Amino acid sequence: MKNYIAKRLLQLLPILLGITLLSFLLMNTGAADAVDVMESNTGSVMTEDEKNILREELGLHRPLYQQYIVWLGNLLRGDMGESFVSGQPVFDTFLSKLPATIYLTITSILLTVFLSVPLGILSAVKQNKITDYLIRCLSFIGNSLPNFFVSLLLIYFFSLKLNLLPVMGNTAGWKSVILPTLTLALSMTSKYTRQVRATVLEELNKDYVLGARARGIEEKKILYFSVLRASMLTIVTLLALSIGSLLGGTAIVESIFMWDGVGKMAVDAITMRDYPVIQVYVIWMAIIYVCVNLFTDIFYHYLDPRIRLGKEEF
Amino acid sequence: MREKKIVKDYTKQKMLVFGVLVGMVILIALFAPYLTSYDPYEQDLGNALLPPGKEHLLGTDRYGRDMLSRVMVGAQSTIFSALLLVVVITVMGSMIGIICGYHGGKLDVFLMRLSDIFLAFPGMVFAIAVASVMSGGIFNAVVALACISWPKYARITRSQVMAIKNMPYIEAAKLSGSGTLKIIRKHILPNIAGAIVVTAVLDIGTMIMEIAGLSFLGLGATPPTAEWGSMMSNGRSMLQTSPWVILAPGTAIFLTVMIFNLAGDTMRDILDPRQRKG
């Protein structure tokens, strides 16, 4: 186990380096000249000489690899530059907006679990019956609805027509989290109901279930004590792996509901061409994603007794 | 023991129905400019924001443009860019996958580490970054999504190639003097094509949603181009007074994605019966 963790942590290093390098290259070679963007954002007119002085201050005249090393050093110290628009340090802004996104992620994951696990089990147990077809049909519909359409439909019905919930913002307490959570949970639930169903079905077809049935054990007992316990490991892992993509996928939903998280921050930055803000978003979302996936993987290995107690063959 | 009913297999009939539906969607998109009764770009401010009715079946938007015409023409940009995207990533990804799987060695290690890095970015996050650096446009949205989507195809192809490349029949082909290219073309590609095609068809729906999503954020098609995502984005402020400006393109996305997903699912049942569910 220890060896496994050490190995996985070592594998993480080149990936983290790759993430930073790719983000750096993306923002520094593809993007428009930073000084030009600053000029157009501040609205002040600069002469070519002034621009060159500014470029030298920012270190833009140096070769790219030197810029990268300096930039990487700053990154490790939590200094990722200032926003072109507000002039605030972007890393601080990112940290201040992160809790809102995490809050939304947690509520959506919880709702997804509460919906998809029972629905998936029900669907598997009632395989090829009406209940199963209905659940599968609904999850198919949910899978084909883009989340921005769902958000707008929910706003239309619950906020504008029925006047039950606030249209946007995260200032109205628990009420404001309902619609964005529903939106995010809907597509995830559609996906996980199918996966839970598949996992449970696979377990139900194993020989030990047949053996238990042959010994006359109640169907319910088999389901709750054997099948569910065995499938939970896969289900939990799948859900944990989705946390990362959920963290990133919230951008559109956050900006529709004016939810003041990192996703909305990034979308706002796009319109202003505020590259440092986009950069901090891309890099940190990727780092969080990679780390969450790694911990899930390690946790999965820890939970699996075959691996925990067996030989360390990794 | 429960009784097991023998369920009649309707897979072939299903494929026919969904195939025809997909064909119809593509044909409508292809001939949209000739099918519309109004010019999708001509403004008619006197008839702005008309609710659905006899004259305009799906109503008009805030510039008085006919929604039905715009949705039909919008199908072109949304669906065809999604198809282009899927073709590009399938060809690119499987070529890289074949090279990695068949050749192995340092090139394989390098390309797989590269794909690890791309896979490390949560989906849309990287697409948003690429699209914003390249400053919008539907073509750039396609490039952005291609950047993050090729590793999946490379991985699938690679593992498939590695599974069959040491099979006796490949050895036999080598012994009888077939060159690498011929082996790949005659013996490897036909065996892995099924899995790749299924993955590709199942991805079309997702890609339609992602392209529309980027356009919704203003990173894909730019106004006045009729594109479903950007049409919805432009209609957001009129949600309360004229919901049809959102409903028309939204429903169009939903139905199209659903048709492509249904076709993809059925196709998987036919081409890859092992993965068959339920």
pLDDT tens, A236-282? 777 777 787 787 768 889 988 888 889 889 888 887 878 888 888 88
**Chain B residue with the nearest C-alpha to that of A212:** B1
First to last CA, chain B: 19
Q: Would the pLDDT of A309 be above 80?
A: no
Cβ separation A267–B250 shorter than 8 A = no
In chain A, where the domains are located: 14-76, 98-303
Q: Please state, in angstroms and rounded to a whole number, the distance separating the CA atoms of residues A152 and B237.
A: 10
DSSP letters spanning chain A: -HHHHHHHHHHHHHHHHHHHHHHHHIIIIISPPHHHHHHHHH-----HHHHHHHHHHHTTTS-HHHHHHHHHHHHHTT---B-TTT-SBHHHHHHHHHHHHHHHHHHHHHHHHHHHHHHHHHHHHTTTSHHHHHHHHHHHHHHHS-HHHHHHHHIIIIIIIS--S-SS-S-STTHHHHHHHHHHHHHHHHHHHHHHHHHHHHHHTSHHHHHHHHTT--HHHIIIIIIHHHHHHHHHHHHHHHHHHHHHHHHHHHHHTT--SHHHHHHHHHHHT-HHHHHHHHHHHHHHHHHHHHHHHHHHHHH-HHHHHS----
Cβ separation B124–A266 shorter than 8 A = no
In chain B, where the domains are located: 2-40+57-275
Q: What is the pLDDT of residues A137-151, one digit of tens each?
A: 999 999 999 999 999
**Chain A residue with the nearest C-alpha to that of B255:** A144
- The shortest C-alpha distance from A44 to chain B (Å) reads 22
pLDDT band at A293 (very low <50, low <70, confident <90, very high): confident
**Chain B residue with the nearest C-alpha to that of A158:** B240
Residues from chain B contacting residue A147 (CB–CB below 8 Å): 213
pLDDT band at A172 (very low <50, low <70, confident <90, very high): low
Cβ separation A144–B205 shorter than 8 A = yes
Cα B253 from chain centroid (whole Å): 12
- The shortest C-alpha distance from B126 to chain A (Å) reads 6
pLDDT band at A193 (very low <50, low <70, confident <90, very high): very high
Q: Would the pLDDT of A312 be above 50?
A: no
**Chain B residue with the nearest C-alpha to that of A262:** B125
Mutant choice from B113, B125, B147 vs A, greatest count of A C-beta within 10 A: B125
Highest mean pLDDT among A51-55, A229-233, B158-162: B158-162
Cβ separation A282–B129 shorter than 8 A = yes
Q: Would the pLDDT of A292 be above 60?
A: yes
- Which of A156, A245, A290 has its CB closest to that of B243? A156
pLDDT band at A302 (very low <50, low <70, confident <90, very high): confident
**Chain A residue with the nearest C-alpha to that of B243:** A156
User: Which whole number is the average pLDDT over A202-225?
Assistant: 88
- The shortest C-alpha distance from A245 to chain B (Å) reads 5
The residue whose two tokens read 């490039």 is B143
**Chain A residue with the nearest C-alpha to that of B256:** A144
User: Which whole number is the average pLDDT over A153-158?
Assistant: 89
- The shortest C-alpha distance from A182 to chain B (Å) reads 18
Cβ separation A144–B114 shorter than 8 A = no
- Could you tell me the pTM of the whole model? 0.87
Cβ separation B1–A213 shorter than 8 A = yes
Q: Which pLDDT does position B3 carry in this prediction?
A: 61
pLDDT band at B263 (very low <50, low <70, confident <90, very high): very high
Q: Which pLDDT does position B234 carry in this prediction?
A: 87
Q: Which pLDDT does position B274 carry in this prediction?
A: 62
Cβ-Cβ pairs closer than 8 A, A with B, add up to: 140
Mutant choice from A90, A143, A144 vs B, greatest count of B C-beta within 10 A: A144
Q: Would the pLDDT of B125 be above 80?
A: yes
Mean pLDDT lowest among A73-77, A269-273, B182-186, B272-276: B272-276
Structure tokens at B123: 């989906």
Q: What is the pLDDT of residues B53-106, one digit of tens each?
A: 777 778 888 777 888 888 998 898 899 999 999 999 999 999 999 999 988 889
- The shortest C-alpha distance from A100 to chain B (Å) reads 17
Mutant choice from B112, B117, B227, B246 vs A, greatest count of A C-beta within 10 A: B117
Cβ separation B243–A26 shorter than 8 A = no
Q: Quote the percentage of chain A above a pLDDT of 90.
A: 18
pLDDT band at B278 (very low <50, low <70, confident <90, very high): very low
- Which of A32, A136, A144 has its CB closest to that of B254? A144
Q: Which residue has the higher pLDDT, A46 or A231?
A: A231
**Chain B residue with the nearest C-alpha to that of A272:** B132
Q: Would the pLDDT of A40 be above 70?
A: no
Q: Would the pLDDT of A169 be above 80?
A: no
Cβ separation B254–A19 shorter than 8 A = no
Cβ separation A156–B116 shorter than 8 A = no
pLDDT band at A307 (very low <50, low <70, confident <90, very high): low
Q: What's the mean per-residue pLDDT of chain B?
A: 86
Q: Which pLDDT does position A34 carry in this prediction?
A: 64
Q: Which pLDDT does position B2 carry in this prediction?
A: 59
Q: Which pLDDT does position A313 carry in this prediction?
A: 45
Q: Which pLDDT does position B275 carry in this prediction?
A: 58
Residues from chain B contacting residue A32 (CB–CB below 8 Å): 135
User: Which whole number is the average pLDDT over A209-231?
Assistant: 86
Q: Which pLDDT does position A226 carry in this prediction?
A: 82
Cβ separation B132–A156 shorter than 8 A = no
**Chain B residue with the nearest C-alpha to that of A244:** B122
Residues from chain A contacting residue B216 (CB–CB below 8 Å): 148, 252
- Which of B121, B233, B262 has its CB closest to that of A286? B121
- Which of B5, B117, B213 has its CB closest to that of A15? B117
Structure tokens at A190: 């559609």
Q: Which pLDDT does position B277 carry in this prediction?
A: 47
Mean pLDDT lowest among B39-53, B79-93, B239-253: B39-53
Q: What is the pLDDT of residues A75-131, one digit of tens each?
A: 888 888 888 788 888 899 999 999 999 999 999 999 998 999 999 999 998 888 999
Q: Would the pLDDT of B31 be above 80?
A: yes
User: Which whole number is the average pLDDT over A157-181?
Assistant: 77
**Whether the Cβ atoms of residue B211 and residue B142 lie closer than 8 Å to each other:** yes
Q: Is the domain covering B2-40+57-275 a CATH 1.10.3720.10 domain? A: yes
The CATH number fitting domain A98-303, selected from 2.60.40.60, 3.40.50.300, 3.50.30.50, 1.10.3720.10 = 1.10.3720.10
Q: Would the pLDDT of B4 be above 50?
A: yes
- The shortest C-alpha distance from A171 to chain B (Å) reads 21
